[in-house]
Structure 1
Amino acid sequence: MPSSNIEFRELEVRLMKEVAVIDCAVRTRSSEDGSSEIIAYVVPLGAFPEEAVRKNLQSAFPGSLLPDRYVLLSSLPFSSDGTVDEEALLRLEIVDEGLARVWEQQLLSLPGVQQAAVVIEPRVPKLKPLHISDLLPHAEAFTARESKQAFPSTSEVSVGSSSEHRRVAISHGEPLCNPQQVPATLQQALKRAVETKPVRDITYVQRDGSEVTHTYQELLEDAERILGGLRSLGLGPGDKVIFQFDRDQDFIPAFWGCVLGGFIPAPISIAPNYRELNSTISKLHHSWEMLEHPVILAGQDLANEVQGVAGLLGLENFRVETVGRLRTSAADHHWHQSQPDDVCLILLTSGSTGLPKGVLQSHRSLVHRSAGTAQSTQFDTTDVLINWFPLDHVGGIVMSHLMALFGCARQIHVPTEVILQEPLKWLDLIESHGATVTWAPNFAFGLINDREKQLQLRRWDLSSMRFILNAGEAIVPKTTRKFLQLLAKHGLRADAMHPAWGMSETCSGVAFSDRCSLETVRDEDSFVEVGMPIPSVSFRIVNGEDQPLEEGQIGRLQVRGLPVTTGYYKNRELNRECFSHDGWFNTGDLGLLCDGRLTITGRAKDVIIVNGLNFYSHEVEAIVEEVEGVEVSFTAACPVRVGERNTDQLAIFFNTQQNGWCDLLRLMKSIRETLLRKMGVNAEFLIPLRPEEIPKTAIGKIQRSKLRERFEAGHYQQLLKEIDIESANANTLPDWFYRPVWLKREASILLSELKKGTYLVFADQLGLADEVCTRLLSDGSQCVRVTIGTGFERINPNSYRINPTVIEDYRELIRSVNESDGSIHHVLHCWAYDDWSEEFADVDEFRAVHYQGAYSLLFLLQALATVQGEQSSVRLFTITSQAQLVSGSEKMCPAKSTMSGVMSTGALEMPWLQCRLVDLSPRSPATNAEHVLRELEVPKSKEIVAYRDGQRLLPSLVKIKMLEEESRAIPIEPEGLYLITGGLGGLGTALAEYLIKRFRAKLILIGRTSIPERVTWNNVDGVTGKRVKNYMALEKSGGEFLYCAVDVSDLDKLRACVEQAEA
């Protein structure tokens, strides 16, 4: 048992005089060998200087009565009666420097250990975070249970009319007008463009925002020089050329140099880096092998890096040439006489075997796709096209560049990263160039929508834009509608958006919808119609046996026509698989026809499209299984779409032998990093499963569709939730919720000498200060009394009057007391001790309490700092009543609520100042005087103390077990009227938007910033600009609100605002 703490009282008192000690308790306890040790339990202020404290104690207590060991705590344990919990002290482990040294010696005694250091660190228990779904049950789910089903079964689903006699699901494009005017080859198309519009230009936007412009005539001259250079390399018609370009102004002339010579360009995207193996390097390597080691044409700055691939992979005859060198050749005007069915472009896409597929496109397919599209979309020479997708993508080279050249139109090409980094640059370019046509996948429109507030602050003239193609990935109706809504005020036509469908095998888009508008498309629609086939193209919907279905039935989409590829380069097996016995191409997509119009409903093939880029499941799975710790043959990669996302997300199911959460989270991090590094895609969901939980067919093939169905049904919700909690990601909150309480804490150490000195006493009107002063004077202390007056007045050396609202009165008071009595050692501020009646007669009375409370303290601290200064320390005791809410039955004076904040701030900013607020019940002055006098003897304490029913109480925090708390309804009435102060600030606006959207609340927003006239909103910035932006955001929400620029303390104006709103 511990010894009585009485025998160590003097030791505790001496410890409490140490600056580095906040609280302490000294006890004895038995050590492991049975001997008795003196233990000092210390709550330190920052780092504890143990050696310095030992020396100070040795000088004060020579002999043996000194602590043997020090135990550092964040706070002493207390029992319910407010005294130190002795049993809790006994249970504490003693980990100190002595133990650390013992451990060091033991480590040094081990063989091979030459140096060792044991460091003591605080043990902070790690609290598991809370999941948002547990705290906010109405929050959006993190699984795909709210997403649209994207994989309906073929031939089983019918949509639309219930007529018994629907027509067969086959749709043909209209006849091509004036087919004799269609150029037979790309060469003829270029010649026509140069002869018809020689000064029509191509603009290349640079990464720094500058622009380079070439005319069609200059394009031809550049291409003929490159043609001469290519022929000087020994190339002949039909030879392939791989492209590796990082500048569009190199790509397009090189493309035409190949076309003029009968060479076949095969563009490949730029690798994230060429120093380590990644998916693009693999694609480049396999394509180079498949195309039988063709020359690689690269940009000047990229050539050396591309050449480095040969060393990385140990390749021979890996030849890289620069387009800059080819441009130095003499122009060659002798074009190869190409035939319409000659292959002139190979589009390299990812194949199901992991090797690239070479999509073959001929002159005929490319020109007829352009001709059919021009007819369907009314594209002509007056159009201006903007493209910001890479030219190695079919949407860049074919759908954009060749389309514009075919129509002899202006075209602007922008580096993809320019728009991704600053999406609103897209709108800038549309406005500055008067663009009429552009395109992007669905995710890009989401990027614009995400900048809604910026759209409200700025203005663009988008009236020129007539045709925006939405293609390349699944189209989300809600995203489309919001884009049209947001840009309508900027002049964008209501019918400007045209959902489209196409693929590399069809020379890009071959269906364009003209029925997309705010009136025809709804947010809740599952799919969006993409239109009729263009001239020269036909669609049909078939079942698994290639038999046509009826309109309205979902099945496999097949396509036929001049723009459709003749097949894949040297891949007979794939060609047999992709074409039906009667010559229709299997697209791999699911869809339906209704009145000849196509609607895409999903994909039958294992392709994941993220932000418009295709990733094959098997390729992703192969990369994942390269990660150490992932078990082979149990990995599945599936596309999922959660909630209102604008693009697919990648979910990976895998198996591992890792058991502990630390190892598992480390593995998951490695999987994500590997995918980003090698494929440039992020795995949104990583789901570890046991082998038996991964569904397989009889021959061992993983059934990805079943995994996705389970995901969408919420089957993995609990597992994903556990992963969220263990990784403490954005779906969680730290478990940092505590409830303020008042606990009994008796002062175990009292020092009567602390009361000695000169007191400056701001006297109350209930007699408390008089009672305290009488006791202090009898103990030999000096008291200077201060009361409230109309101005500074020195009544006698020990009595003053000041005006509490005049700061100079406080300075004059301190100066006068210093001159008469020397430094002030103690301040008792009792002006906030009164018998407040729970109501204020008017604002003036409320303000008067403020001036006698928080303002008075502020003025006093400023006067002490500037007049008396730091040469002597001061103990400031603020005596209040009804300034702290100790129990639920009490009433707190709101005008006194800021006093504790002033006290805490003063203690932090002024090291020479010790502050304490003592809150009392306004009862017997004699009883309360005892409490105050006792508090004067407490050496150190928290900054706030309360006395109730004779008990000393300190504020504390107790942990809230949030998951055990009773769930309560939000106390907000639907369509109720609510007032928000700071309503146009960041938090205020967010709260207002929430109340409007969730409860249709009517709001009164109060702020100090006046909103200028609406006609000036485009020109305001700074704080006012932010307020205007937030105001417009609330207008956009469609809610009912009134904004009033008034001071929240002006009661009359506040009442007027409320009356205006209620009227």
Structure 2
Amino acid sequence: MPELVLPDLLLKAALEYPDLGINYMRDDGSLSKQSYWKLKKEAESLSSGFVEMGIKPGDTAIIITDNNQETINCLWGCFFAGIVPTILQSPVSTSDHSQAAVKLLNVFQQLGKPLVICSKPIGNDDEEFGKKMVLYSSLRRGKAIPGFRPLPDDLAFIQFSSGSTGDPKGIMLSHRNLAVNMNSIALGLHLTHDDHTGNWMPLYHDMGLIGYHLTPIYFTHEQYHIETVDFIKNPSLWLDLISEQSINVTGCPNFGQALVLRHLKRKVDFPAWNFSRMKAMLNGAEPISVRIMDEFVSQLQRFQFPVEAMMPVYGMAEATLAISFTPLMQPSVITQFDIEELDRNRKAIQVNPSSTGKTGRQISGVGVALDRVNIRLVDEHEQEVPEGISGHIQISGPSVTHGYYQNSSATEALFCGDWLRTGDIGFFFKGNLYISGRHKDIIFMNGKNYFAHDLESLACTLEDLSYGKVIFGGITDPKSSKEKVLAFVAGISEPKAPELLHRLRLLFRKNLGIQLDELILLRSNEIPKTSSGKIQRYKIIQRYLAGEFKEKRVK
């Protein structure tokens, strides 16, 4: 169905499967259901209201509503009216200088000060923003009128990047982009109309929106959503949902897995959970931690979780969502590679540390390219490299964006001919794609490249440190012009810092032969992260270079 546009998809789902729909889980575990037929009626009513407000097809709108049902209603009202929406996280106030507030005002300007739909008034001292703000409860509802019918290549949605390397960029997605990628996802997951999809990720994240809301409408089946804040407060809600509603397709990146593991360690009484129906638990959105994934699967096996259901995947918003999947119900492919060869010579050589004595880096494969997605690996001169050689990952295909909204310079830098530069480093090995890391997260030391997340994984082998509480970065010292490696750590008291630094130095000297120059103490809320839990390392480095944390530095 790649030629169908979004309004057609909901109309088809509502007419052919009127009893299927969207289930919203409350914080007490109860569910309310909105059938696809009811969603269609609500979208038609809101669409008519938008027309009465004078909003025209092609206009943009920002949705910052507080709960999933309001967000989904607004989204489809926009689609039916031909409005191009974007969904963002709602801040408490636009003047609180939070990450969400800064991003919202940035996007507001980028989109030309469009309509902003929110659940409650947002405190602000921006007069222009205030004039454009409309409460969801006060939106006009009109009688259903013939909706605007877009063309497949018309702009459907703008997904703003998380800003993990700078200002957010508006990724333009057409109806064709979305339909092609959703079709690829449906094929990769062998979706049927009997499947049940469960989601706790926010709808302003591409995996939450496209993977767990739009795709279940494209290949119509029942979908379930938990508010992200409720999942963070009580991960058992998600586990209850999986067991009670026979969820067989869901997702959980490192951030979520680590949260669930901490929750399970504190839990005393366990329900009789049954996860045996699971066929795909997608693990992506950030670099995959093999250690966390293995521990997570081990804990869930107590409740009949099939090991083969853990599904390492790779994707990005510029590809609409999905790029590669581990084949359905096949074991995750975990391989140990020679660190020296991979870091210095870019060669992927499998090792067995127990027999060779060489230090290995354990990396999870992320499967093979999905249908209608092309992947190639190139060197610094944009020339393809063979299997077993690390290079820059580039992608092409009809689900790949045509560029960033009103940002020609960034769009030009994004492409090499028809190929999109992902910014990721990886390699093929025995047919599987492996992701080494982000090009911008490389730390250069002693003539070798180290990925920040690899250093963080090594540090977390110490009992005091846990995933998400430690950040590594590299800088060039402005005085000595020497490269320095920095460790930022949260959750450690000042008296314990010198001893921790000593143990980290021993660990890194023994395993990698590198010097750790400084330890900087942080509060947990000082670690900036994207909506998927991905660490925004550049922000911490910027603050360090600006002279912050001077009283929290241990050398």
Please tell me the TM-score bracket, short chain as reference: 0.7 to 0.9
CA distance in 1, matches of 2:21, 2:168: 34
Map 1:664-679 → 2, pairs under 5 A: none
Change in 2 beyond 3 A, CA 1:417/1:319: same
**1:201 Cα deviation (Å)?**
1.9
1:583 and 1:648 map into 2 onto residues whose CA distance is: 39
Contact kept in structure 1, 2:323 and 2:373, CA below 8 Å: yes
Q: Whole-Å Cα distance in 1 between the matches of residues 283 and 220 of structure 2?
A: 23
Alpha-carbon distance, 1:350 to partner = 4.5
Alpha carbons of structure 1 residues 517 and 694: separation in structure 2 relative to 1, 3 Å: farther
Instruction: Give the drift of 1:239.
Output: 0.2
Residue 117 of structure 2 aligns to which amino acid in structure 1? L
Aligned to 1:404: 216
User: Aligned ranges for residues 410-425 of structure 1 at < 5 Å?
Assistant: 410-425=222-237
CA distance in structure 2 between the partners assigned to 1:332 and 1:290 by the alignment: 32
Match among 545, 556, 559 for residue 392 of structure 2: 556
1:599 aligned to which of 434, 453, 461: 434
1:465 aligns with 2:301: no
1:190 to 10, 13, 28: 10
User: 1:234 is matched with which residue: 37, 50, 54?
Assistant: 54
Equivalence for 1:739? none
Aligned pairs for 1:677-692 (under 5 A) are 691-692=478-479
Shift of residue 483 of structure 1?
1.8
Report the AA paired with residue 391 of structure 1. L
State the SS of the aligned residue for 2:402: coil
SS in 2 for 1:223: helix
How has the CA–CA distance of structure 1 residues 536 and 647 changed in structure 2, closer, same or farther, with 3 Å as cutoff? farther
Q: Percent identity?
A: 27
1:254 aligns with 2:74: yes
Q: How has the CA–CA distance of structure 1 residues 250 and 724 changed in structure 2, closer, same or farther, with 3 Å as cutoff?
A: closer
1:291 to 111, 121, 133: 111
Kindly indicate whether residue 250 of structure 2 is the aligned counterpart of residue 438 of structure 1.
yes
Superposed displacement of residue 516, structure 1: 8.0
Give per-residue Cα distances to partners, 1:777-820, cap 9 Å, x unaligned. Answer: xxxxxxxxxxxxxxxxxxxxxxxxxxxxxxxxxxxxxxxxxxxx
- Equivalent residue number for residue 547 of structure 1: 383
Q: Residue 386 of structure 1 contacts residue 430 of structure 1 at CA under 8 Å; is this kept in 2? A: yes
Secondary structure in 2 matching 1:385: strand
- The partner residue of 2:175 within 363, 374, 395 is 363
Residue of structure 2 aligned with 1:492, choices 276, 295, 305: 305
Instruction: Give the corresponding residue for 2:30.
Output: 210
The one-character-per-residue Cα deviations of 1:987-1014 (angstroms, maximum 9, x if unpaired) are: xxxxxxxxxxxxxxxxxxxxxxxxxxxx
Deviation at 1:425, TM superposition (A): 2.1
Deviations 1:71-121 (A, max 9, x none): xxxxxxxxxxxxxxxxxxxxxxxxxxxxxxxxxxxxxxxxxxxxxxxxxxx
| Paired residues of 1:229 and 1:329 also in contact (CA < 8 A) | yes
**Aligned twin of 1:325:** 138
* SS of alignment partner, residue 288 of structure 1: helix
TM-score, normalised relative to structure 2: 0.77
For residues 731 and 381 of structure 1, do their structure 2 counterparts lie closer, same or farther at Cα, with a shift above 3 Å needed?
farther
Partners of 1:232 and 1:265 in 2: CA distance: 18
Aligned counterparts, 1:882-961, within 5 A:
none
Q: Is the CA contact (8 Å cut-off) linking 1:488 and 1:494 kept in structure 2?
A: yes
Report the Cα offset of residue 229 of structure 1. 1.3
> What letter is aligned with 2:22?
I
Instruction: Please give the secondary structure, in 1, of the residue aligned with 2:304.
Output: coil
Match of 2:348 in 1: none
Are 2:192 and 1:386 equivalent residues in the alignment?
no
> What runs of 5+ residues in structure 1 fail to find an aligned partner?
1-180, 609-636, 655-688, 696-705, 734-1063
Q: Deviations over 1:23-70 (max 9, x none)?
A: xxxxxxxxxxxxxxxxxxxxxxxxxxxxxxxxxxxxxxxxxxxxxxxx
Q: Which amino acid aligns with 2:66?
A: D
Query: Is 1:650 equivalent to 2:471 in the alignment?
Result: yes
SS of equivalent to 1:589 = strand
The answer to whether the 8 A contact 1:221-1:331 is kept is no
Q: Does residue 1:573 correspond to 2:409, yes or no?
A: yes
Separation in 2 of the partners of 1:525 and 1:653? 20
The aligned counterpart of 2:88 is: 268
Once the two structures are TM-superposed, the CA of residue 375 in structure 1 deviates from its matched residue by 0.8
The residue type paired with residue 583 of structure 1 is: D
In structure 1, what residue type is equivalent to 2:169?
Answer: K
* Aligned-pair CA distance for 1:491: 1.1
CA distance in 1, matches of 2:138, 2:161: 29
Q: Which residue of 1 aligns with 2:529?
A: none
Greater displacement, 417-426 / 501-510: 417-426
Q: Deviations over 1:162-204 (max 9, x none)?
A: xxxxxxxxxxxxxxxxxxx444211221121112211102011
Deviation at residue 558 of structure 1 after TM alignment: 0.3
Cα 1:543–1:520 change in 2 (3 A) is closer
Local SS of the residue matching 1:527: strand
How does 1:472-551 map onto structure 2 within 5 Å?
472-514=285-327, 520-521=333-334, 526-551=362-387
Among 223, 245, 250, the residue aligned to 2:65? 245
Q: How far apart in 2 are the matches of 1:515 and 1:221? A: 35
- Indicate if the aligned counterparts of 2:248 and 2:280 stay in contact, CA closer than 8 A: yes
**AA partner of residue 449 (structure 1):** L
**1:653 Cα deviation (Å)?**
7.7
The one-letter code sitting in structure 1 at the alignment partner of 2:59 is D
Letter of the structure 1 residue corresponding to residue 141 of structure 2: S
Give the 3 Å change call, closer, same or farther, for CA 206–693 of structure 1 in structure 2: farther
Residues 912-938 of structure 1 show CA distances to partners (whole Å, capped at 9, x for unaligned) of xxxxxxxxxxxxxxxxxxxxxxxxxxx
**Larger Cα Rg: Structure 1 or Structure 2?**
1
Instruction: Give yes or no for contact 1:293–1:318 (8 Å, CA) kept in 2.
Output: no
Letter in 2 for 1:216: Y
Aligned to 1:856: none
Q: Give the aligned CA root-mean-square deviation in angstroms.
A: 2.9
State the partner residue of 1:340: 152
Please tell me whether the aligned partners of residues 188 and 327 of structure 2 are also in contact (alpha carbons under 8 angstroms): no
Q: Which amino acid aligns with 1:605?
A: K
CA contact (8 A) 2:324 2:367 kept: yes
**How many pairs does the alignment contain?**
461
Residue-by-residue CA offset, 1:351-387 (whole Å, 9 max, x unaligned):
5884321000000010110101111110121110111
Q: Is there any run of 5+ residues in structure 2 with no aligned partner, and where?
A: 337-359, 444-450, 501-555
1:739-818 to structure 2, matched below 5 A, reads none
What residue is the counterpart of 1:162 in the other structure?
Answer: none
SS at match of 2:37: helix
**Which letter maps to 2:255?**
F
**C-alpha offsets along residues 98-145 of structure 1, whole Å, 9 cap, x if unaligned?**
xxxxxxxxxxxxxxxxxxxxxxxxxxxxxxxxxxxxxxxxxxxxxxxx
- Which residue number in structure 1 is paired with residue 495 of structure 2? 728
Does the 8 Å CA contact 1:484/1:492 hold for their aligned counterparts? Answer: yes
1:452 and 1:486 in contact (8 A); partners too: no
Displacement of 1:521 after TM fit? 3.4
Query: Counterparts in 2 of 1:84-99, with a 5 A limit?
Result: none
Give the deviation of 1:647 after TM superposition. Answer: 4.5
Return the match for 1:282 from 78, 86, 102.
102
2:237 counterpart of 1:448 = no
Using the alignment, how far apart are the partners of 1:437 and 1:484 within structure 2? 15
Taking the TM superposition and a 5 Å limit, the aligned residue runs for 1:20-99 are none
CA apart distance, 1:336 = 0.7
Equivalent-residue separation in structure 2 for 1:320 and 1:267 (angstroms):
14
CA distance in 2, matches of 1:210, 1:607: 45
Counterpart Cα distance in 2 of 1:354 and 1:594:
32
The amino acid that maps onto 2:46 is: I
**Structure 2 CA distance for partners of 1:496 and 1:607, relative to 1, 3 Å:** same
Q: Hey, what's the Cα distance between the residues in 1 that align with 2:432 and 2:472?
A: 32
- TM-score, normalised with respect to structure 1: 0.41
Q: Aligned letter for 2:471?
A: L
User: Is the contact between residue 183 and residue 189 of structure 1 (CA under 8 Å) also seen in structure 2?
Assistant: no
Distance 1:557 1:284 in 2: 30
* Structure 1 residue 643 displacement after superposition: 2.7
